[in-house]
Amino acid sequence: MTSLSVSVIIPAYNADSTLAETLQSLQSQTFFNWEAIVVDDGSNDETAAIAHQFTSKDSRIRTVSQSNQGVCAARNTGIDLANFDWLLFLDADDWLAPQHLEKMTAALAADSSLDAVHCGWSRVAADGTLYNQKYAPALADMFPSFVHSCAFVIHACLIRKSLIEAVGRFDTSLCICEDWDLWQRIARSGARFGAVREILALYRMRPSSLSRNGNQFFTDAIRVLTQGYSPDLRVSNPHPDYVDGLKSNQLASQKLYWASWCAGLFLGVGQDARHLLQLIKDEYTRNLDPLWIAECIFESSLLPNCQLPTVWYKLWPNVNQYLNDFLQALESQSHTTRLTRRTSTLLERMVLQHAQINEPITIGTTHGVCLDLTQPIVDIHTPASSERLYCIVKMEGIELGSIELPICDGLVASWVIQDAIASQFAWQILGRFFEQTIYSETDKNSHDQIGWTVFLQQLWGLPDWPGERFYDSEFVLATTTTKVNSAFVVVEVSEELADLEVALPELDVMIAVGGVALGVVTIPVNNNLVTSQAQRVAIATASGFELCVTCVREALIGKPFKDLTSLRSRLQQAAKAKAQLPEWLAFPGSSAVIEHQLVSSQTIVLGRRSGFNSSVSRRAILPKAVARELVEMAKVTAEQIVQLSTPGEIPERVIYAPEALSFWSKCATISSATDLAEVNTSHKYDRSHFESLFSTQPDPWKYTNPYEQTKYEQTLSLLPSQRIEKALELACAEGHFTVQLAPHIESLIAADISQVALERTAQRCSNFQNISYQQLDMNKDPLPGRFNLIVCSEVLYYTGGLAELQAVGEKIADALEPSGYLIMAHAHQIVDEPDKPGFDWGLPFGAKAIGDTFAKLPSLNLVKEIRTPLYRVQLFQRQPRLQFPWLRHTPEIVELAKQPTPIPSQVEASVRWHGGQPSEIWNSQPVVTHRLPILMYHRVAPMGTKKMDRYRVTPQAFEEQLQYLRDTGFYSVGWEKWQLAMATRQPLPGRAIAITFDDGYLDFYEYAWPLLKKYGFTATVFLVAERVGTSNSWDEAYGEEVPLLGWREIYQLQSEGVEFGSHAATHQPLTALSVTEIVQEGARSRAILERALNLPVKTFAYPYGDCDRVVEHLIGACGYTFGLSCRSGLSQFGDRPLSLPRIEVMGSDGLQEFIRKIP
C-alpha cells in the first residue's frame, strides 16, 4: 500500500439523483487514504441532505455549501479545502471503478518523477452499457495532445495540488472545456504524465449534461484551442519549447474539426449546424480529412440523447438533410474538394458497421445486407438511390467480416457476390470446411501451417502426397496417355489428369475449375510429352492462390458444409452442372461460362485479360450508362469483346467475365527458371539452425536461472496494468517466459521459428487454455493479426543485418493496434559499443542497435527503458491513429549501475566487462526486398507559392535524395516484378524501390528526369488524361497555376524509359463520384493514354489518395492491376494490389527525414 493520500473534490449542483452512487463508488475503493470534499454549489434539491447522510457515517467525507457560482468556482473551493498533495476531481454524476485510486497511486509511487497519472475511461449509457472506451496517449509530455483536445475526462487523472495552484486553478470565465483549459496549462508548464492502461473512470451520459450545449461548447473549445497556439500568461514558468504554444499551421484545420464535432450535437437532435461555421468564417484549409470529420460527427451526434452507436441508423432520416447542409457549407468554406460526398460515404459505412443488420438497411447511397455464405446466394436488388453495397458475411452464423461492392443499375448479382466473398475470405472458408470434413482436433489449430498442402491433396485426390511433391516436375506418376492434335487443350482440375502426347514445342492449357475457366498457361513439351505431373505443377505454380479462390467459389459458397462431400467431388458436381447450360453460353473460341440469367442478346460481355492473381480474375458488372466508353476502351486496348449487344439498342448490362476466356488470352508461361528463383534469402540463423539447436538439447540457453528470471520480472513490470485482450509472443522458445506471461493475457499466441521448441512450449503451458501456438519465421511470414501487446525478446539479433531488422520492426509495429504495446529485452553486444560492457557473441548488433532501430520507426514511441550493464528491457507504444507522427517524446530511462543478479556460468566467459573488439566479424547475407518503398512525389522545382511547398521538392534536395539512394544500393524496379514477388511471396534481390510522380507536371521534364537519369533511376508518372498539356486546375485554391506535361514531352520521356500511369481523367476524388462516374474516370483515362502511348497502362494513382473497396473494384474492372493510394507505408506481400501504400516525400523533408522514411 502506498503512503500517498488523495483529496477527491466533488462539485455538486442539484445532483440528488446521482450523488449517492458517486460517493458509494468512492467508499468502495480498495485504496483507503482519501478524503472527499463535496461542494454543494447552491443546490435547491436534496443534494445537501444526501451529502450529509454520508458525512455523518464516514469521517473521510466533508461537505461545504456555497451560493451557486458554477463548477469552476466549486472546484476551486474544494482545492482550498483539500488537505492532501494529490487531487482527483469527480463530478457528482460520475463514478470510479473500485481499483481506481489503488492503481493510480501505485503508478505514482512507482515513478516519483510523475506529476500526474491518467487512466482509461468509458461512457456509460442509461442502461449501464459501457461504450466508446478511450485511452489518452501514454506520453510524458502531453502538451501537443492538450492543444488540440481534452485527452481524458476529468476524473481519469490524479494530479499534484501544487501544479494546479501554480497555473492558477480553474478559470471561472469558462462554462465548458474548463478541464481541458487546466490540463493544457499544466502540460505547458512541462509536467510529466504517466498512464494506467485500464478503464477506471466511468462517465455517465445524461440528457442534461452541460457539455452538450453545442454553442457554448464550441465557443469555449475554440478559445482553449486558440490559446494552445499562442503564449499563455497564466503559466508563469512554461516549458521552453511551449512558451509560444504550437506553430499555427494546424490551427485552421483544428477549428474546422471542432466545428464538425460540435455540429454533431445539433445534428443528433435534427437541427441545423451551419451557424457554427459563421463563428469561424475566415478559417479555411483545403486538406481536411473526411475520415476525421466523419468520426467526429458519428460520435457527437449520439450524445444529445445518450444513444449507442448501434442505433445510429435510426437517426439517419432526421439527420440526413441537416448533415448534408452542414457538409456542403464546410466544403464551401474549407475549399476541400468534394468533401460532402466523401464524408457522407464514410459516415454511411460507419453507421452500417455498427448496426445490427438483420434486415436490409439503406443509409444514404449505401445499402446494407447480411448473408450467410453456406446458404444460397441470390441477386440483390436495391433502391434506385443506392450505389454501394455493404454486406456482412457470415459463415454458419459466425461473422467473417464484410465486403463492399458497387451497385450497378439497381443490381448486385450473386455471380459477383460469390466471387467477392471467395476473393476476400477463401482461406478462412477453406479452413472451416476442412474442420468439418478432414481435420482432426489437433489439425484445427494448424490450418495456416498445413492448409495449403491439404488443399492440394484434396484438389488432386492425392491425400498421401507431401506438399513439396506438388511442385516437383521430375516426379513420375503412372497414368494414361492421351494424344493431342492441336496446340491447346482444356484441363478440368477435378478430373483425372492424363499424360498428353503432343508434337509441338509447347502446349496451351486452359485450366477449368468446376467447369469454369481459370486461365491459360503455356507448358513446354519434353520428348513429345506433357506429363500429368507437369500439368499439375504448371497449374499450381501459375495460378497460385487464385486456384484456391476459384475452388472455394465454385465448390463451397452458397452450399451447406454439413454435406461431407469432399472438395474434389463438389468440383466434379459443379463441372457436371455447368455442362448442362445452354450451348450458346459457350462463346466461340472461348470457354464458358457465365450464369445464364445474366446473359442475353442485350448483354455486353468483356472477356478476360491476361494474368493471374490480380484484378483480371475478379468478376464485375458495370453500369450500362458507360457501355460506349467501355467498348471503346476494349477496342483501343485490343482486349476481347466476347459479345456486343444489338447495334442501336441500349444494352441491359455490361459484364467483365474473367471466365470468358479464349486460348489467345494467355495468362502465364512456365519456363525453367525466373529471376526471383535465383535469389538466396537464407542466412546463418534460419529455421534449420534453430531446429537443429532445439533438437540437439532442451533449454539450450539455460533459461531457468536467477539472471533470466530477474529479466522476466523486469519485463513483466512493464506490462500495462489492465488485463490484455490479445497478445503475441515472438520467439517464445520453450515457453519459460510464456508460462509467466499467460496469466496476464486473455488470448495469447506463442510463436517460434522452431516447431520443436513450440511443442515443448505447449507441453510446459498445457494447463493454460488461452494459448495457441504458431510456427512463424519473423523475416518471411506475416504476423497473424493485430495485437494489444507484442513481446519479442532475445531474438532480434538473429534477423540478419540492419535492413532485415528494420523490416521486422516495421512488421511488428504494423501488427500493433493503435496504442498497443511492444516489450522486448536484448543483451548488449560489444559490436555496438566497443567501449562499454557487453557480450561477444559474434552477432551483427545488440540491444542498442535494436532499440535505436525501433525508436526511429514513425509509428512507435519509446515509453520506458530499464537499462543494466548487460541488457536493456524496453517498452514501446504504437501511436494512436489520430496522433501527429512528427511529435516525439522523451522516454523514461531507468539505469541500473550494477547488474542486479549474477551472470550464469555458461555465458560468463563471453562477457566483456571493459568492452573490446568482437572476436568474429558478422558476414551479412545478400540484401533482399521484402517490403517495397514506393516514393510519391508531385513536383521538383526551385520555386513556388508557400501554400504549395508541401508538394514541391527543390532540385537540390531531390538530387541529395537520389544520391543517397544510389549510394546505398537502391535500384528502380518494375511493377510486374513486384507483382510476381507479391504473388509468390518471394523477395526481390537487392534494395528495390519504385519512384512515382503524381499529376504529371512539366517540371518533371525540366528538373526531375535529368536527375533521375544522372543517378540511374526511372519513374512512373501519373497523368490526368484529359488535362495533358494544360495546367493544374484542381489546385486553383492554392493560387498557383502550374503547367502540365504535353504530349511532345511525354513521347520523349517515354522513349527514354519513363513509364506512365493514369491519375484518372479529370483528377476527381473518386469516393465522391457515382459508380458511373468512377468507371468513366477509369475507362476514359485508360483509353486516352493507351491510344496515345501505344503501350498497356496498368497502374492507377487515385487522385488525393481517395479510394475504398468499391473504387478499387471498379478501377480493377477497368483493366488496372495496380492502384496506388496515399496511405503511408511500405508495400508488402499481403497488400491488396489495388491499394498499395506509398511514402510521401514532402518539400519540408531534409535528408535526415528522408532517410527515416526509407528502410
**Residue pLDDT, tens place only, 744-761:** 999 999 999 887 788 889
pLDDT (average), residues 936-944? 95
Is 767 in the same domain as 836? yes
For residue 23, which phi and psi values (nearest 5 degrees)?
-70, -35
Q: What is the CATH number of the domain that holds 1083?
A: 3.20.20.370
Grid cell digits, residue 313: 441508423
Residue 737 lies in a domain: yes
Is 234 in the same domain as 86? yes
**Is 70 exceeded by the pLDDT of residue 508?**
yes
pLDDT (average), residues 238-266? 93
- Residue 284's pLDDT is 85
Is 73 in the same domain as 159? yes
Phi-psi region of 1129 (alpha: psi -120 to 50; beta: other; left: phi over 0): left
**Is 80 exceeded by the pLDDT of residue 600?**
no
- Residue 251's pLDDT is 93
Residue type, 658: P
Residue 464 lies in a domain: no
- Summarised one tens digit per residue, pLDDT across range 787-846 is 999 999 999 998 888 989 999 999 999 999 999 999 999 999 999 999 999 999 888 899
For residue 748, which phi and psi values (nearest 5 degrees)?
-125, 130
Q: Residue 1066: which residues within 8 A CB-CB, separation 6 or more? A: 1024, 1026, 1027, 1081
Residue 768 lies in a domain: yes
* Cα 922 to Cα 679, 830, 851, 967, distances in angstroms: 21, 12, 19, 22
For residue 579, which phi and psi values (nearest 5 degrees)?
-65, -15
Grid cell digits, residue 725: 485482450
Strands 952-953 and 939-940, sheet pairing: parallel
**Is 70 exceeded by the pLDDT of residue 378?**
yes
Residue 121 lies in a domain: yes
- Going along 176-274, which residue ranges are E strands? 193-204
**Is 80 exceeded by the pLDDT of residue 687?**
no
Is 854 in the same domain as 756? yes
Is 590 in the same domain as 727? no
Question: Sorting pLDDT into bands at 50, 70 and 90, what band is 591?
Answer: very low
> Under a CB-based contact definition with an 8 Å cutoff, are residues 508 and 663 in contact?
yes
Distance CA 447, CA 466 (A): 15
- Which DSSP helix (H) or strand (E) runs through 812? helix 802-814
Length of the chain: 1159
Distance CA 508, CA 506 (A): 7
Is 1138 in the same domain as 1032? yes
DSSP helix/strand/coil, 265: helix
> Under a CB-based contact definition with an 8 Å cutoff, are residues 981 and 987 in contact?
yes
> Under a CB-based contact definition with an 8 Å cutoff, are residues 239 and 188 in contact?
yes
Question: What is the percentage of the chain residues whose pLDDT exceeds 70?
Answer: 93
> Under a CB-based contact definition with an 8 Å cutoff, are residues 164 and 87 in contact?
yes
pLDDT (average), residues 994-998? 98
Distance CA 1157, CA 1145 (A): 9
* Count of domains for the chain: 5
Distance CA 1088, CA 1080 (A): 12
**Is 70 exceeded by the pLDDT of residue 642?**
yes
Distance CA 153, CA 96 (A): 12
Q: 304, 327, 356 — which closes off a domain?
A: 356
Directed axis angle between helix 447-460 and helix 414-437, to 10°? 100
Name the residue among 611, 710, 583, 690 with its Cα closest to residue 1119.
Answer: 611
pLDDT (average), residues 931-944? 95
Residue 514 lies in a domain: no
- Residue 923's pLDDT is 62
Tell how far CA 395 is from the center of its chain: 24
> What's the angle, vertex CA 258, arms to CA 252 and CA 263, rounded to 5?
130
- Residue 1121's pLDDT is 95
Helix/strand/coil percent split, the chain, to 5: 40, 20, 40
Residue 419 lies in a domain: no
Is 1071 in the same domain as 971? yes
Residue 187 lies in a domain: yes
Question: What is the percentage of the chain residues whose pLDDT exceeds 90?
Answer: 73
> Under a CB-based contact definition with an 8 Å cutoff, are residues 1107 and 1085 in contact?
no
- Which DSSP helix (H) or strand (E) runs through 551? helix 545-555
Residue type, 204: R
Question: Sorting pLDDT into bands at 50, 70 and 90, what band is 579?
Answer: confident
- Residue 669's pLDDT is 53
Torsion of CA 336, 340, 341, 343, to 10 degrees: 90
**Is 70 exceeded by the pLDDT of residue 584?**
no
Name the residue among 816, 796, 823 with its Cα closest to residue 859.
Answer: 816
**Is 90 exceeded by the pLDDT of residue 242?**
yes
Between 887 and 86, residue with greater pLDDT: 86
Is 595 in the same domain as 699? no
Weakest-pLDDT range from 293-297, 460-464, 681-685:
681-685
> Under a CB-based contact definition with an 8 Å cutoff, are residues 1086 and 635 in contact?
no
- Residue 572's pLDDT is 94
Q: Residue 179: which residues within 8 A CB-CB, separation 6 or more? A: 89, 150, 153, 154, 170
Q: 912, 941, 963 — which closes off a domain?
A: 912
- Residue 585's pLDDT is 42
Distance CA 951, CA 1104 (A): 12
Question: Sorting pLDDT into bands at 50, 70 and 90, what band is 678?
Answer: very low
- Residue 676's pLDDT is 35
Q: 210, 230, 246 — which closes off a domain?
A: 246
Q: Residue 1095: which residues within 8 A CB-CB, separation 6 or more? A: 1054
- Residue 947's pLDDT is 84
Is 743 in the same domain as 834? yes
The most confident of 540-554, 650-664, 1141-1155, by mean pLDDT: 540-554
- Residue 612's pLDDT is 82
- Summarised one tens digit per residue, pLDDT across range 1046-1072 is 999 999 999 999 999 999 999 999 999
Distance CA 1149, CA 670 (A): 45
- Summarised one tens digit per residue, pLDDT across range 443-491 is 988 998 999 999 999 999 999 999 999 999 899 998 999 999 888 898 9
Q: Residue 623: which residues within 8 A CB-CB, separation 6 or more? A: 408, 409, 654, 1075, 1076, 1079
Question: Sorting pLDDT into bands at 50, 70 and 90, what band is 665?
Answer: low
Is 855 in the same domain as 758? yes
Tell how far CA 432 is from the center of its chain: 25
**Is 50 exceeded by the pLDDT of residue 674?**
no
Q: What is the CATH number of the domain that holds 58?
A: 3.90.550.10
Distance CA 726, CA 720 (A): 12
Environment class of residue 529 by beta-carbon count within 10 Å: exposed (0-12), middle (13-18) or buried (19+)? middle
pLDDT (average), residues 529-537? 94
- Residue 919's pLDDT is 78
What is the residue-averaged pLDDT of the chain?
A: 90
Distance CA 29, CA 733 (A): 41
Between 558 and 663, residue with greater pLDDT: 558
Neighbours of 1018 (CB within 10 A): 18
Residue type, 996: T
DSSP helix/strand/coil, 952: strand
> Under a CB-based contact definition with an 8 Å cutoff, are residues 960 and 982 in contact?
no
Residue 563 lies in a domain: no
Is 1052 in the same domain as 1120? yes
- Residue 881's pLDDT is 60
- Residue 21's pLDDT is 95
> What's the angle, vertex CA 289, arms to CA 287 and CA 294, rounded to 5?
145
DSSP helix/strand/coil, 65: strand
Between 339 and 886, residue with greater pLDDT: 339
DSSP helix/strand/coil, 775: strand
Q: What is the CATH number of the domain that holds 871?
A: 3.40.50.150
Distance CA 388, CA 309 (A): 21
Question: Sorting pLDDT into bands at 50, 70 and 90, what band is 666?
Answer: low
> What's the angle, vertex CA 1037, arms to CA 1034 and CA 1043, rounded to 5?
50
Distance CA 891, CA 909 (A): 33
- Residue 883's pLDDT is 56
- Residue 965's pLDDT is 86
Distance CA 194, CA 113 (A): 9
Q: Residue 892: which residues within 8 A CB-CB, separation 6 or more? A: 111, 113, 140, 863, 864, 865
Is 14 in the same domain as 145? yes
Name the residue among 1037, 998, 991 with its Cα closest to residue 1016.
Answer: 991
**Is 60 exceeded by the pLDDT of residue 670?**
no
- Summarised one tens digit per residue, pLDDT across range 93-123 is 999 999 999 999 999 998 888 999 999 999 9
Q: Which domain holds residue 636?
A: 584-669
Name the residue among 853, 829, 810 with its Cα closest to residue 907.
Answer: 829
Distance CA 25, CA 153 (A): 17
Distance CA 896, CA 62 (A): 45
- Residue 596's pLDDT is 57
Residue type, 241: D
Strands 1140-1144 and 934-937, sheet pairing: parallel
Tell how far CA 630 is from the center of its chain: 33
* Cα 969 to Cα 611, 1009, 1012, 1159, distances in angstroms: 31, 19, 15, 12
